[in-house]
Amino acid sequence: MAHDDTLIGAGFSDPVFQSQGAFRALLAALSEPGLACDLGEAIAPPAGLEAATAVTLLTLADYETPIWLPAALRNGPAGAWLRFHCGAALVEDPARAAFAVVDGAMTEPKLAGFNAGDDQFPDRSTTVLVQCAGLAGGETVTLEGPGIAGRRSIAPTGLRPGFWAEVEGNAALYPLGVDLLLVHGAQVLGLPRSTQIVEAR
Amino acid sequence: MTVHQSISDETRPAYNYAYLDEQTKRMIRRALLKAVAIPGYQVPFGSREMPLARGWGTGGIQVTAAIMGPDDTLKVIDQGADDTTNAVSIRRFFERTADARTTEATDEATIIQTRHRIPEAPLKAGQIMVYQVPQPEPLRKLEPHEAETRKMHAWAEYGLMQVKLYENIARFGEVTTTYDYPVMVNGRYVMAPSPIPKFDNPKMQMSPALQLFGAGREKRIYAVPPHTSVRSLDFDDHPFRIQSWEQPCALCGAADSYLDEVVIDDQGGRMFVCSDSHHCETRRADGHRGAMLADASALHLVEDEAKP
Amino acid sequence: MYVAVKGGEAAILATHDLVAEARRGDESVPELGVAQIREQMGLACGRVMNEGSLYDPDLAALALKQAQGDAIEAAFLMRAYRTTLPRFGSSEPLDTAKMAIRRRVSATYKDLPGGQVLGPTYDYTHRLFDFALMDEAAPAESPARPAAQPLDTSMPRVPDILGAEGLMEEEAPPAGDPRPFDLTREPVTFPADRDVRLQAMARGDEGFMLGLGYSVQRGYGNSHPFVGEVRVGEVAVEYVPEELGFAVDLGDITLTECQMVNQFAGSKEVPPQFTRGYGLSFGHSERKAMSMSLVDRALKAREFGEATTYPAQQDEFVLYHSDNVEAAGFVEHLKLPHYVDFQGELELIRRIRKEREQRLAKQQEALPEAAE
């Protein structure tokens, strides 16, 4: 079947239980940073969104959570899909976003452009979904911090040069900072602000 | 105005799975993820009116309702026991609204909702503890204004707490807080561990389980991810120490569990028994016998599993 | 004994049966109908609707029946039901200037357009028992007679009269006229804005609001209030469905509104003017609306640059403690078992006492005999 941009694809067929299952995977991902978690193949995502991105936003976003997307996605089927299924506002200003979707290989926007929360309400920060080429096979990055017994190594691929320096800069803001979800296919890997980058090679 | 046809309408409206509507669950789930990302920090959330009274576990219930699914096995304890009245009431709530599979066995549970205790059996990776929290703010007794305590957390300004603990030591020779003993989480936030006895505090340190805290009336959610530093506040010259008893459990003989005191007559007679009822039963089933087990069994007060 | 908690489930189920029996009382006395409560206990229903945050006289009556007349328990039932209701949207703002008046009194003017309308009030009854009410055969006809003249159709609100003269503090919606905050959906932060404060007080406990309002009058707060107006009557509720785009009348609700005129404040920039305290409640509930309007004015202290020394002037104090469902839950939770924590306290106090005795004994031994 030819891809038709004008049609909005389906969301969850069983919202109560599919979102519950997806949430538990996301909870595990952020509780144990660096551990790749499977969000399942419940839906066919719109063009431009990884399946894990689409499932995450279906699970967590609604009219209370503005979403930032790259302009090309915002004005395309992904934007229409999110507006329809989540009822979420799509914002142009990264600092206003509760959730953001970025392409890991693109040089902009920088992580620092999103909302890092404020010192009395550090929870009011953006959760950034970083779509990348793969969650394994890349250069090794060693992590430390809450949720990690000792150290854990990850090796995602398709991230822009300087990305890990930005993540280190974000962790240095702790307890402020954005929380990252690296996504590829149906998988998600959490990098909350509390995670320290010990070594990136 | 509510739009309803008639009170005696035959078609009863059905409640959503686990009572909460999906929008509410999303809101709580978002709060939980932020809580996990900032260990020990209290995330404000839009706590809902629940059909159980405020102060009776509505925070824990909302957290459990937002996380649980058909694959979960739920254990609910109050004072360490599965059959205390409010634990029974909360377990029934989830059996009714979420068709929950429930257990009394700590190691079979994927979610353990608790009031005032952490089970004696070590928690495992993959398990989630859900604590019911009456007062999430560890500084509240020192500073009643939320606007002020929020600033104190923002600036990690915990001198007031240190002073209070030290005044305790000056007056009584030790810190006299016996439960809800404040902890420092991930070296940043001072956190109320909920009114668990300080005996249980060390179990939080680097626990492999995920620990979630819900305060319904005060509308706060917070969390401690697995393998996270949870240090009980103390001083070099007055290190933190936990309760101990001079005698073991009268029923199972355990010498390392938290004991409840039971008054057995009006002559000052008392026995000490495990507060964790499942732990005690498991030990008795394994053949451990305490000094008063035979007496208690003869009075049909407990099952003596060792008997033929 | 240890196993006193065993069999908790059976005990809980038994309490349900016992409460049903206690609620019904003596079965030789006829069962009370919900419609009877709604019609003959209207003020109690009003209180339950206010504190339950739900306008539904039938459900309020049912709640009172189920709760044996316990207002807080009834409000709790209303709220637990309310939280499960789907939301279609928000009504248009109510226009109390267009209220169909049942009662309207002003203490600030002897007479005013529309006049003083006493309506149904206990104010001038002598509190003497009407023993005739012991007799269930009520008088067949209402003794009330229609007035010789119909009420004026126009009843301007007193603060509007003062406002026309520029003497009343102006109250404009915040910039952009945002949708009011809803504390049943979002967490409150402090300092709280007025929409949050008014919502909290509207659902707050009548007794608590009364006590706070009274404290302001007695000197715990700088207040010189005059009842600009109290009005009771019916107001139309309108709703604009998205698909229609025009307002649809959903029906009338009974409201009580109090606007309290307070002595002026002013500064270099603002000329002296009267300030307003506002109270609005469901049903006929003057005590609640008046108390609320006193506390509303007291809570404006910060905005007017006044001291906030007293409880009624502190938003955190008022908002956190006026919710009687929350307060009742937390006070009553002390009934739950706390023996684990109490055991910790027992262990501590015994040990500290023992250590103290040992210390004293040691001192006694060390004391030289000769010292006597």
Residue B9 has pLDDT above 70, yes or no: no
Q: Is C325's Cβ below 8 Å from some Cβ in B?
A: yes
pLDDT score recorded for residue B267:
86
Mean pLDDT of chain C: 90
Chain A residues close to B17, C-beta within 8 Å:
16-17
Using DSSP's 3-state secondary structure scheme, residue B114 falls into: strand
Residue among A18, A20, A58, A179 with most chain B CBs within 10 A, to mutate: A20
Question: What strands, in cross-sheet order, belong to the sheet with B43-44?
Answer: B43-44, B220-224, B210-215, B128-132, B111-115, B73-78, B101-102
Binary contact (C187, B4; C-beta < 8 A)? no
Facing B179 at nearest CB: one of C6, C185, C341: C341
Write out the DSSP string of C166-213: T-B----PPTT-PPPP-TTTS---SSPPHHHHHHHHHTS-HHHHHHHH
pLDDT score recorded for residue B6:
40
Using DSSP's 3-state secondary structure scheme, residue C117 falls into: strand
Q: What is the mean pLDDT of residues B58-83?
A: 96
- Rounded to the nearest angstrom, the gap between the alpha carbon of residue B107 and the centroid of all alpha carbons in its chain is 16
Chain B residues close to C234, C-beta within 8 Å:
none
Facing A60 at nearest CB: one of B29, B150, B226: B29
Residue-wise pLDDT for C183-221, tens only, equals 998 999 999 999 999 999 999 999 999 999 999 999 898
Binary contact (C237, B1; C-beta < 8 A)? yes
pLDDT score recorded for residue C141:
65
- Rounded to the nearest angstrom, the gap between the alpha carbon of residue B182 and the centroid of all alpha carbons in its chain is 14
CB A34 within 8 A of CB A67: no
Q: Give, in degrees to the nearest 5, the angle at Cα B280 between B275 and B285.
A: 170
Chain A residues close to B154, C-beta within 8 Å:
119-120
Chain C residues close to B222, C-beta within 8 Å:
none
Establish whether the linkage from the previous residue to C86 is cis, with ω within 30° of 0. Answer: no
pLDDT score recorded for residue B229:
98
Facing A146 at nearest CB: one of B22, B153, B227: B227
Tell me how crowded residue C114 is: count the other CB atoms within 10 A of its CB. Answer: 17
Residue A126 has pLDDT above 70, yes or no: yes
Token pair belonging to A160? 């822009």
Residue A3 has pLDDT above 60, yes or no: no
E strand intervals along A64-173: 67-68, 90-91, 99-103, 127-131, 141-144, 152-154
CB C47 within 8 A of CB C71: yes
pLDDT band at B3 (very low <50, low <70, confident <90, very high): very low
Tell me how crowded residue A105 is: count the other CB atoms within 10 A of its CB. Answer: 15
Residue B59 has pLDDT above 70, yes or no: yes
Token pair belonging to A101? 């979707």
Q: Which residue of B has its CA nearest to A146?
A: B228
Q: What single-letter DSSP state applies at residue B176? A: -
B60 catalytic residue (yes or no): no
Binary contact (A120, B27; C-beta < 8 A)? no
One-letter amino acid of A136: A
Residue A90: C-alpha distances to residues A66, A98, C190, C204 (Å): 6, 10, 29, 38
Residue C268 has pLDDT above 80, yes or no: no
Q: Which residue of C has its CA nearest to B245?
A: C347
Cα–Cα dist A115/C79, whole Å: 36
Q: Is C49's Cβ below 8 Å from some Cβ in B?
A: no
CB A123 within 8 A of CB B34: yes
What b-and-e string marks burial along C279-290, b requiring 16 or more CB atoms within 10 Å of the CB?
bbbbbbbbbbbb
Tell me how crowded residue B50 is: count the other CB atoms within 10 A of its CB. Answer: 23
Facing C326 at nearest CB: one of B54, B84, B92: B54
Catalytically annotated residue among B57, B249, B253, B290: B249
Radius of gyration of chain A (CA): 16
Token pair belonging to B211? 């620990």
Chain B residues close to C251, C-beta within 8 Å:
1
Facing A15 at nearest CB: one of B22, B34, B153: B22
Binary contact (A21, B226; C-beta < 8 A)? no
Using DSSP's 3-state secondary structure scheme, residue B178 falls into: coil
What b-and-e string marks burial along C83-112, b requiring 16 or more CB atoms within 10 Å of the CB?
bbeeeeeeeeebebeebebbbbbbebeeee
Facing A194 at nearest CB: one of B22, B155, B186: B186
Total beta-carbon pairs less than 8 A apart between chain B and chain C: 171
What's the gap in Å between the CA of C183 and the closest CA on chain B?
A: 8
Q: Which residue of A has its CA nearest to B34?
A: A123
Cα–Cα dist A45/A8, whole Å: 10
Residue B270: C-alpha distances to residues B248, B250, B264, B273, C2 (Å): 13, 10, 5, 10, 11
C-alpha closest to that of C190 among B56, B92, B47, A121 = A121
Token pair belonging to B36? 């996990």
Residue A93 has pLDDT above 70, yes or no: yes
Residue C251, strand partner residues = C237
| Chains with ≥3 CB–CB distances under 8 Å to B | A, C
pLDDT score recorded for residue C138:
63
B252 catalytic residue (yes or no): yes
Residue B56 has pLDDT above 60, yes or no: yes
Q: Is C13's Cβ below 8 Å from some Cβ in B?
A: no
C-alpha closest to that of C277 among C256, C300, C254, C255 = C300
Residue-wise pLDDT for B245-259, tens only, equals 889 999 999 999 999
Residue-wise pLDDT for C28-67, tens only, equals 999 999 999 999 999 999 999 999 999 999 999 999 999 9
C-alpha closest to that of B189 among A60, A176, C36 = A176
| Chains with ≥3 CB–CB distances under 8 Å to C | B
Q: Give, in degrees to the nearest 5, the angle at Cα B16 between C70 and C327.
A: 30
Binary contact (C187, B46; C-beta < 8 A)? yes
pLDDT band at C79 (very low <50, low <70, confident <90, very high): very high
pLDDT score recorded for residue C1:
31
Q: What is the mean pLDDT of residues A93-122?
A: 96
**Helix or strand run (H / E) with residue A168:** helix A163-172
Tell me how crowded residue C308 is: count the other CB atoms within 10 A of its CB. Answer: 16
Binary contact (C2, B84; C-beta < 8 A)? no
B280 catalytic residue (yes or no): yes
B274 catalytic residue (yes or no): yes
Catalytically annotated residue among B40, B60, B253, B290: B40
Q: Is C337's Cβ below 8 Å from some Cβ in B?
A: yes
Cα–Cα dist A33/A16, whole Å: 26
Residue among A16, A31, A58, A152 with most chain B CBs within 10 A, to mutate: A31
Q: Which residue of A has its CA nearest to B21?
A: A16
pLDDT score recorded for residue B1:
47
Q: Which residue of C has its CA nearest to B90?
A: C9
Write out the DSSP string of B261-295: EEE-STTS-EEEEES-HHHHHHHHHTT---TTHHH
Q: Which residue of B has its CA nearest to A117?
A: B34
Cα–Cα dist B244/C347, whole Å: 8
pLDDT score recorded for residue C139:
64
Binary contact (B188, A175; C-beta < 8 A)? yes
Chain B residues close to A125, C-beta within 8 Å:
34
Cα–Cα dist A188/C86, whole Å: 33
Binary contact (C5, B44; C-beta < 8 A)? no
Residue-wise pLDDT for C122-131, tens only, equals 999 889 998 9
Cα–Cα dist B300/C274, whole Å: 75
Tell me how crowded residue B119 is: count the other CB atoms within 10 A of its CB. Answer: 24
Binary contact (B36, A127; C-beta < 8 A)? no
C-alpha closest to that of C341 among B222, B246, B181 = B181
pLDDT score recorded for residue B5:
40
Cα–Cα dist B179/B240, whole Å: 13
Residue C162 has pLDDT above 50, yes or no: yes
Residue-wise pLDDT for B256-279, tens only, equals 999 999 888 888 888 999 999 999
Write out the DSSP string of C225-266: EEEEEEEEEEEEEEE--TTT-S-EEEEEEEEEEEEEEEEEE-
Write out the residues of chain B at the interface with chain A, using a CB-CB cutoff of 8 A.
16-17, 22-23, 25-27, 29-39, 41, 43-44, 66-71, 150-151, 153-155, 186, 188-189, 206, 208, 210, 223-229
Binary contact (B260, C355; C-beta < 8 A)? no
Facing B1 at nearest CB: one of C190, C250, C320: C250
CA atoms in the 13 A half-sphere facing the CB of B29: 29
Q: What is the mean pLDDT of residues A132-160?
A: 96
pLDDT score recorded for residue B304:
59
Q: What is the mean pLDDT of residues B143-164?
A: 95
What's the gap in Å between the CA of A190 and the closest CA on chain B?
A: 10
Catalytically annotated residue among B59, B252, B253, B290: B252
Residue A5 has pLDDT above 70, yes or no: no
Chain A residues close to B225, C-beta within 8 Å:
30-32, 146-147, 194
Q: What is the mean pLDDT of residues B230-234?
A: 96
pLDDT score recorded for residue A201:
65
Q: What is the mean pLDDT of residues C224-230?
A: 92
Residue among C2, C184, C253 with most chain B CBs within 10 A, to mutate: C2
Dihedral sign for Cα atoms in the order B65, B68, B74, B77: negative
Tell me how crowded residue B28 is: count the other CB atoms within 10 A of its CB. Answer: 24
Binary contact (B36, A147; C-beta < 8 A)? yes
pLDDT score recorded for residue A2:
41
Q: What is the mean pLDDT of residues B192-216?
A: 97
